[in-house]
Amino acid sequence: MNIHDRIPADLLRSTLAVDATRPLVTFYDDATGERVEFSAATLANWVAKTANLLQDELAAQPGDRVALLLPAHWQTAVWVLACSAVGVVADLGGDPAAADAVVSGPDRLAEARACGGERVALALRPLGGRFPQPPEGFTDYAVAVPGQPDTFAAYDPPGPAHPALAVDGLELTGGQVVERARADASQRGFAPGSRVMSLAGYDSWRGVSAGLLAPLAVGGSVVLCRNAEGLDAAALAARRESERVTHFAD
């Protein structure tokens, strides 16, 4: 992508500059039958709204830690990039008790209550739907995010030396995330236009790199599959063909 990309959020900006309309993230949930596709422009809109929610409504400050108790999901990708834009650390699967804020899916709400700061709940329903009954003590993301502004400007823009991502016991700066993503892309043979299918979770560097950051770093796109354990080889092969997948990262 662009040699001037310094932090993960810059990778999305570069993609927008090249082609805002091309598919960037295609998401499948094989437990619900959901399939949804996001162009770079649409994903960037979600990232901007989420970053505004973080900065203005949740009062997140650069250097704060946000525990993301979320599976591999298009909304998780949004949160990873929004945290980068604000300058807070996206702690993938991190300890909510040690975090300044927590963002949780529906199956980890009890664990998320250990956070003494702001708590955000994601229903992870098709089309970004809200909870039928909002969880007590949590902000329902699907209720709070739509009214946020469509563009974002950080009050204190983060740089490449600022902490950006915690995963696998590592804490990486924005610059290190970009550097590692590019190295992974090179090792895996990703290139501009590559379309990568990933079944991995976002609770490891390997998963979040293959399922978001490495393709983004080189101008590729992602087919992200959740709950695909029950698919047989023929079903996966058919999906790879229909989605024109060039690389498979399990």
Say what the pLDDT of residue 2 is.
54
Task: Kindly state whether residue 195 falls inside one of the protein's structural domains.
Answer: yes
Say what the pLDDT of residue 29 is.
96
Number of H helices and number of E strands within the chain? 9, 12
Task: Kindly state whether residue 3 falls inside one of the protein's structural domains.
Answer: no
Say what the pLDDT of residue 110 is.
98
Both tokens of 221, joined, read 């796109």
Say what the pLDDT of residue 4 is.
66
Say what the pLDDT of residue 31 is.
93
- Show Cβ contacts of residue 198 under 8 Å, excluding neighbours closer than 6 positions: 72, 207, 210, 211, 222, 223, 224, 225, 249, 250
Instruction: Give the CATH number, domain containing residue 74.
Output: 3.40.50.12780
- In angstroms, the CA 62 to CA 200 distance is 29
- Which region, left, alpha or beta, applies to residue 193 given φ > 0 means left and ψ of -120 to 50 means alpha? left
176: amino acid identity, one letter: Q
Burial class (CB in 10 A: 0-12, 13-18, 19+), 144: middle
Say what the pLDDT of residue 95 is.
98
Q: Which residue has the tokens 């979600």?
A: 46
Task: Kindly state whether residue 122 falls inside one of the protein's structural domains.
Answer: yes
Closest Cα to residue 180, out of 220, 212, 158?
212
- In angstroms, the CA 22 to CA 54 distance is 27
How far apart, in Å, are the Cα atoms of 74 and each of 35, 62, 71, 77, 202?
Answer: 11, 24, 9, 5, 11
Task: Kindly state whether residue 2 falls inside one of the protein's structural domains.
Answer: no
Say what the pLDDT of residue 5 is.
79
Domain tally for the chain?
1
199: amino acid identity, one letter: L
Sign for the CA dihedral angle at 208, 214, 216, 217 comes to: positive
- In angstroms, the CA 199 to CA 221 distance is 14
Range of the domain at 72: 8-249
Task: Kindly state whether residue 136 falls inside one of the protein's structural domains.
Answer: yes
Say what the pLDDT of residue 55 is.
98
- In order along its 250 residues, the chain shows pLDDT tens digits of 555 679 999 999 999 999 999 999 999 999 999 999 999 999 999 999 999 999 999 999 999 999 999 999 999 999 999 999 999 999 999 999 999 999 999 999 999 999 999 999 999 999 899 999 989 999 999 999 999 999 999 999 999 999 999 999 999 999 999 999 999 999 999 999 999 999 999 999 999 999 999 999 999 999 999 999 999 999 999 999 999 999 998 7
Say what the pLDDT of residue 187 is.
96
